[in-house]
Amino acid sequence: TAGITQAPTSQILAAGRSMTLRCTQDMRHNAMYWYRQDLGLGLRLIHYSNTAGTTGKGEVPDGYSVSRANTDDFPLTLASAVPSQTSVYFCASSDGAGGNQPQHFGDGTRLSIL
């Protein structure tokens, strides 16, 4: 079972360039999330989407944008990358935004901004 697929697995990007991280889930989960993981800080929420057609800002949304055109896809875009966006990015989904369902995570995208 695929679950959540993230692409690319890793990427090196020059500062100032744009980049879209892809996330696709096949579980028909309503809610999806993007986190960044930084050493000593755990995971921090960037953006979320409770259902297709809606998005919202998390803890650290600056410099990132998302869209949710359908249930399965939730791409994360860096319009003009900066070195502080070097991180590991995780996409997650949950079956419902208001319940107690756990979030299921993809394998992550390791992004280095030079």
Partner 1 sequence: AQKVTQAQTEISVVEKEDVTLDCVYETRDTTYYLFWYKQPPSGELVFLIRRNSFDEQNEISGRYSWNFQKSTSSFNFTITASQVVDSAVYFCALRTFSGGYNKLIFGAGTRLAVHP
Integer Cα distance of 19 and 101 in angstroms: 31
Asked if 94 touches partner 1 (CB under 8 A), the answer is yes
Which range binds partner 1 by CB under 8 A, 19-27, 43-51, 61-69, 70-78? Answer: 43-51
Asked if 22 touches partner 1 (CB under 8 A), the answer is no
Integer Cα distance of 81 and 85 in angstroms: 7
- Whether 85 and 76 have beta carbons less than 8 Å apart is answered as no
Which range binds partner 1 by CB under 8 A, 12-20, 64-72, 77-85, 106-114? Answer: 106-114
Q: Two tokens at 89?
A: 């990015």
Which residue ranges make up the site for partner 1 (CB under 8 A)?
A: 31, 33, 40-45, 48, 50, 56, 58, 88, 90, 92, 94, 96-108
